[in-house]
Amino acid sequence: MSNLVLRDSARLRYFTFFYLYVMQGIPSGFALTAVYNFLIGQGLSARSVGSFAAIVGLPWTFQFVWGPLIDKYQYSVLGHRKQWVVLTQLVAVVASLSLLLVHDPVRQLALLGGVFFVHSVFASIQDASVDAIAISVVPVAERGRVNAFMRAGSLAGWAVGGAVLSYLLHHGGFGRAAWVQSLVLLAFTALTFFIKLERTDKLLPQFGAGPRPARPVLTDEENPSLGWLFRELWRSMVEKHSLRAFAIIMLTYMAGSLFNNAYSFYLIHTLGWSDAFVSTLQGTWVTMLSFGVLMGGGILVDRLSASHVQRWGLAGLAFFALTFSFLSPFWAVPAVGVVGLIIINLADPLVSIAAMPLLMAYCRPKIEGSQFTTYMALVNLCTVTASYLNGWLLEFTTAPFIGLGCGLLLMGLLLALYRLNPNVQAAAQAQLAAPAAAA
């Protein structure tokens, strides 16, 4: 156990950030795949199901608040920011156990949404802490692959939550699924306890008498005020070039999420597919293909550039959304429906393999944790908005028309992306780093 030091081992970094994201993905997959599809299968309206998904995802939009707090109070003998990870993991386990209060998810929808909301609050703080640690300990040359492992871990966790817990939900009841989720989260929390960031970090804080590690005296420059952090965060977020690039990424996530939600609802509600079958399919074939996309994409990002991979992914998504929407009369054919579901669910990894390294590159020194978590909060806001918007749109239109609109939006974003010259992007990143370096 003494050799589990993140700074010393690339393999440990890959493994650690993978399982930390598995831990985050399991509850999300349970809530937003297994339970979401279950509620559709029970006959709830698109608006009710969409509102539930929005409530579960809403705390992830608060990450712009957690980032500066985590950066300000990052010091710990356990490892900088690690105390945030361990504490929020423990509270998330307690919140997961609170799901046992729910005996009938359909009749207790408000309680169900409330418990998942509380869990998401602490999971989002954990996520912000993990992202900040990743930026501080992962070398630039590894970021593409590490981001691939992080996103792959999230999808693997989502698969477990969506497929395995969906099976337990249908064959053992909601309580059994909640128990299994809680025990898995507790096991991962125990594993986190034994992993150090630096070799000099302690596994436990020291209490009582005896010598204690000296806490470093930090200057205002090394540990700036919250006011300075928020001011610098605002300046970095509204910088013209990074704002344009991020807007393209954000709207791409929204389009992919909106089409995905609409199509899943269409399969279960309109075509009468089993919600358990849809959840299992999303958690098996989708996950395996996503692993391949993420691992291959991470290597391409490190060897080529994130901007090139971003263009290829966006072009593929735009082409698929437009073509598949025109083929909507054939969605009832099982083979076509299954292939469509698999490809639509690949939208997130296709976007993420390039988006995450690009956003990391735009983060300024000293506020990188705050800035990256703010980017993630806005991305999460897009997916939450897509969940709610999907429930509203399906009362006026159909999934094929939503898919067509998403395809046109993606095509417009692709054209806008080609107007962002890579040299301009590089210059913008250098401009962002310059003020902090001179400070």
- What is the number of structural domains in the chain? 1
Query: Is 1 inside a domain boundary?
Result: no
**pLDDT digits over 338-366, tens only?**
989 888 887 877 787 778 778 877 777 76
Position 179 confidence tier, pLDDT thresholds 50, 70, 90: very high
Query: Is 260 inside a domain boundary?
Result: yes
Query: Is 220 inside a domain boundary?
Result: no
Q: Nearest-CA neighbor of 135 among 77, 60, 81? A: 81
Question: Which segment, 37-41, 71-75, 221-225, 229-233, is predicted with the most confidence on average?
Answer: 37-41
Cβ(181)–Cβ(188) under 8 Å? Answer: no
Query: What is the pLDDT averaged over residues 107-129?
Result: 89
Q: Nearest-CA neighbor of 360 among 155, 141, 76, 111? A: 141
Count the Cβ atoms, other than its own, within 10 Å of residue 261.
28
Q: Please indicate whether residue 333 or residue 143 has the higher confidence score (pLDDT).
A: 333
Give the list of residues 6+ apart from residue 173 with CB closer than 8 angstroms, or none.
none
Give me 146's structure tokens.
């590490």
Query: Is 212 inside a domain boundary?
Result: no
Query: What is the pLDDT averaged over residues 128-151?
Result: 78
Q: What is the pTM of this model?
A: 0.71
> The domain containing residue 272 runs over which residues?
6-200+225-432
Query: Is 215 inside a domain boundary?
Result: no
Query: Is 325 inside a domain boundary?
Result: yes
Give the list of residues 6+ apart from residue 432 with CB closer than 8 angstroms, or none.
236, 239, 242, 362, 363, 364
Query: Is 392 inside a domain boundary?
Result: yes
**pLDDT digits over 253-265, tens only?**
899 989 998 998 8
Rounded-to-integer distance, Cα 22 and Cα 155, Å: 7
Query: What is the pLDDT averaged over residues 63-85?
Result: 70
Rounded-to-integer distance, Cα 188 and Cα 18, Å: 11
HEC sequence for the chain:
CCCCEHHHCHHHHHHHHHHHHHHHHHHHHHHHHHHHHHHHHCCCCHHHHHHHHHHHHHHHHHHHHHHHHHHHCCCCCCCCCHHHHHHHHHHHHHHHHHHHHCCCCCCCHHHHHHHHHHHHHHHHHHHHHHHHHHHHHCCHHHHHHHHHHHHHHHHHHHHHHHHHHHHHHHHCCHHHHHHHHHHHHHHHHHHHHCCECCCCCCCCCCCCCCCCCCCCCCCCCCCCCHHHHHHHHHHHHHCHHHHHHHHHHHHHHHHHHHHHHHHHHHHHHHCCCCHHHHHHHHHCHHHHHHHHHHHHHHHHHHHCCHHHHHHHHHHHHHHHHHHHHHCHHHCCCHHHHHHHHHHHHCHHHHHHHHHHHHHHHCCCCCCHHHHHHHHHHHHHHHHHHHHHHHHHHCCCCCHHHHHHHHHHHHHHHHHHHHCCCHHHHHHHHHHHHHHHHHC
Lowest mean pLDDT across 149-153, 198-202, 398-402, 418-422: 418-422
Query: Is 234 inside a domain boundary?
Result: yes
Residue 111's CATH number: 1.20.1250.20
